[in-house]
């Protein structure tokens, strides 16, 4: 997730409000209920940290219960999942589950299974995009596919063994296209630079990462790996529309330990959904190039978690990361 200067200010205000809320709300509700542990695996200011903070900003008010961030780094999210499993199944904690957790599970870094987790709600759904130079003929999605039927294209990714190269491999395999040539960079900026220079053909990016260049007409989105088109780039078709059944996103959502009381699970889901319908959270989504369709309830979120893990496992095997 790209953090812009404007959003850094927005985030700073949100964190200040959050910190003040800890004092005011805990003083009112501490005697009634213990604080909910909001577990994350990411450091301060990253996409997972920010998403979690923006959710709990209003959720603690809705639930009338304090929520305290608990950071458990390590293993690409494996440590945070293992920590959650050490807690009682009482609905007094949440874990922010991400695409990275799916990768760690697929690679066997933890014994935690999807069935060990109770989905609550999704907070962000940032589809993978195939971004190209607007001067390239493959900005037309059908042309993109036609070209890759006869030759390999160079895909710029931010790393290997993750969502970016999995997206490229899954798309080309399911589309019957030539295998992509993966060019890994350290960060998003070099991908965009090399797209503009013409040294690579495709950048695997999220909307927020390329929004500035998309708005100024330098880069164009050829294909969206999502179930539905994105409002901000409504002219860009999905892979599924083109007959290639791939839907992959950088996702962040919330779970608790399986076995929590059903009424408590419903309370947490309803509280989060109401919190993320507030303008604070909607403005956050707008700032990172998303909209309110990112937010869904437990049923849809749970299905996506299962699909994500299945896709990650299959493609990481194809890449040789899993025997």
CA distance 234 to 224: 10
pTM of the model: 0.80
Query: pLDDT for 131-176, tens place per residue?
Result: 999 999 999 999 999 999 999 999 999 878 888 999 999 999 999 9
Three-state secondary structure call for residue 281 = helix
323, part of any domain: no
User: Which of 193, 220, 194, 191 has its CA nearest to residue 207?
Assistant: 220
Residue that is last in its domain, among 233, 265, 294: 233
Q: Do 121 and 257 reside in the same domain of the chain? A: yes
CA-to-CA separations, 187 to 164, 192, 200, 300, in angstroms, rounded: 12, 10, 15, 31
CA distance 99 to 272: 20
The CA-based angle 247-249-255, given to 5 degrees, is: 115
Residue that is last in its domain, among 184, 201, 233: 233
Q: Do 131 and 112 reside in the same domain of the chain? A: no
Residue that is last in its domain, among 233, 259, 280: 233
Domain that holds residue 20: 5-125+250-318
CA distance 58 to 281: 9
pLDDT at residue 12 greater than cutoff 60: no
CA distance 67 to 16: 15
242, part of any domain: no
Number of domains the chain contains = 2
CATH number for position 152: 3.40.190.10
Query: pLDDT for 218-253, tens place per residue?
Result: 999 999 999 889 988 999 999 999 999 999 998 999
CA distance 119 to 135: 43
CATH number for position 42: 3.40.190.150
């Amino acid at each position: 997730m790209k953090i812009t200067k404007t959003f850094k200010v927005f985030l700073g205000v949100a964190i200040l409000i959050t910190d003040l809320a800890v004092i005011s709300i805990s003083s009112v509700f501490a005697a009634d209920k213990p604080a909910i542990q909001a577990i994350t695996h990411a450091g301060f200011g990253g996409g997972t940290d920010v998403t979690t903070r923006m959710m709990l900003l209003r959720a603690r008010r809705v639930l009338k219960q304090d929520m305290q961030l608990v950071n458990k780094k390590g293993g690409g999210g494996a440590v945070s999942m293992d920590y959650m499993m050490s807690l009682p199944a009482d609905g007094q904690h949440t874990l922010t589950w991400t695409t990275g957790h799916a990768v760690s599970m697929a690679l066997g870094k933890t014994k935690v299974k999807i069935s060990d987790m109770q989905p609550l709600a999704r907070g962000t759904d940032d589809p993978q995009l195939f971004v190209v130079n607007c001067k390239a003929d493959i900005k037309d999605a059908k042309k993109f596919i036609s070209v890759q039927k006869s030759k390999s294209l160079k895909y710029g990714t931010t790393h290997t063994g993750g969502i970016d190269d999995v997206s490229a491999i899954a798309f080309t395999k399911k589309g019957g296209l030539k295998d992509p040539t993966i060019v890994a960079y350290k960060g998003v900026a070099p991908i965009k630079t090399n797209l503009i220079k013409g040294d690579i053909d495709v950048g695997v990016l999220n909307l927020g990462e390329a929004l500035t260049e998309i708005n100024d007409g330098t880069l164009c989105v050829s294909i969206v790996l999502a179930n539905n088109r994105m409002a901000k780039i409504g002219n860009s078709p999905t892979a599924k529309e083109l007959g290639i059944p791939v839907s992959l996103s950088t996702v962040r959502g919330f779970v608790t330990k399986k076995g929590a009381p059903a009424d408590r699970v419903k309370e947490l889901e309803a509280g989060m959904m109401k919190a993320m319908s507030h303008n604070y959270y909607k403005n956050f989504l707008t700032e990172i190039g998303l909209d309110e369709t990112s937010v869904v309830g437990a049923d849809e979120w749970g299905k996506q978690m299962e699909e994500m893990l299945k896709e990650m496992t299959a493609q990481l095997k194809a890449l040789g990361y899993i025997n």
